[in-house]
Amino acid sequence: AQRVTQPEKLLSVFKGAPVELKCNYSYSGSPELFWYVQYSRQRLQLLLRHISRESIKGFTADLNKGETSFHLKKPFAQEEDSAMYYCALSQGAQKLVFGQGTRLTINP
Amino acid sequence: EAEVAQSPRYKITEKSQAVAFWCDPISGHATLYWYRQILGQGPELLVQFQDESVVDDSQLPKDRFSAERLKGVDSTLKIQPAELGDSAMYLCASSISFSSGEQYFGPGTRLTVT
């Protein structure tokens, strides 16, 4: 069965420190992976997807098929990065399977 | 900027009562999704529409839940009768097409069943 695992429910780092939010998946086909983010009092929104291979708000994520991972990284955390982050896997017909989420807190 | 609309934002109901949620997707978006998000978990797909047709309702508890999108635009999700375990956030999302990959989410309806 398709599954997305985010091992950390909570992650706290200091401003300026590097951030890595972990995501592992299980999927038998060719996966399409996404990171969605929900800032306080805002809607869930797409942050980035692996096929675009772009950096959004300083975040990048590389799909590692060997390790079945799609970790989200940022070299220098900012206070406005504090949010709930969800890793998601797309199955056929763009059905999204979400992980349980990681709450990221950036301390000043 | 166009957004997905949902109403009500909050709903408190007693168990065994009926409850309904409404969603208006972004204009022109053919695909509409209903998700349930239990506290501390990620969203879980309940039903997916392509225009007015159901594409996937494999996770919809059909004995008590129903969903429709009669004219292929807005959609209603109904629970009858509500149970205590239905307390959750119900999210609606839309995407421009079946294969676009990016989904736009509404603000959600927080349901509390007492």
d(CA A106, CA A102): 13
Q: What average pLDDT does this structure show over B44-65?
A: 94
pLDDT at A54 (0 to 100)? 83
In this complex, the residue of B91, B98, B105 whose CB is nearest that of residue A94 is B98
Q: Which two tokens stand for residue A13?
A: 């780092």
Nearest to A44 by CA among A16, A6, A85: A85
Half-sphere exposure of B90 (CA within 13 A, CB side): 31
Q: Which residues of B touch A101 (CB under 8 A)?
A: 41-42
CB B35 within 8 A of CB B44: yes
Q: Which two tokens stand for residue A2?
A: 């398709």
Give percent of chain B above pLDDT 90: 90
Least confident of A46-60, A73-87, B28-42, B74-88: A46-60
Chain A: give the shortest CA distance to residue B98, in Å. 6
In this complex, the residue of A32, A96, A100 whose CB is nearest that of residue B103 is A96
Q: What average pLDDT does this structure show over B88-104?
A: 87
- With bands split at pLDDT 50, 70 and 90, how would you rate the model's confidence at A93? low
Q: Is B40 on the interface with A (CB under 8 A)?
A: yes
pLDDT at A27 (0 to 100)? 86
Q: Is A56 on the interface with B (CB under 8 A)?
A: no
Would the pLDDT of A94 be above 80? no
pLDDT at A31 (0 to 100)? 83
Question: Which residues have a Cβ under 8 Å from the Cβ of B80 and sit 6 or more positions away?
Answer: B18, B19, B64, B66
CB contact under 8 A, B42 and A9: no
Question: Which residues have a Cβ under 8 Å from the Cβ of A37 and sit 6 or more positions away?
Answer: A44, A45, A47, A83, A84, A85, A86
Would the pLDDT of A53 be above 90? no
d(CA B45, CA A2): 13
CB contact under 8 A, B101 and A86: no
Q: What average pLDDT does this structure show over A39-62?
A: 90
Q: Is the peptide bond before A108 cis (omega within 30 degrees of 0)?
A: no
**How does the average pLDDT of chain B come out, rounded?**
94
Q: What average pLDDT does this structure show over A3-29?
A: 95
Q: Which residues of A touch B104 (CB under 8 A)?
A: 45
Q: What average pLDDT does this structure show over A83-105?
A: 90
pLDDT at A71 (0 to 100)? 97
In this complex, the residue of A9, A44, A93 whose CB is nearest that of residue B105 is A44
What is the Rg, in whole angstroms, of the alpha carbon atoms belonging to chain B?
13
Q: Which two tokens stand for residue B105?
A: 């989410």
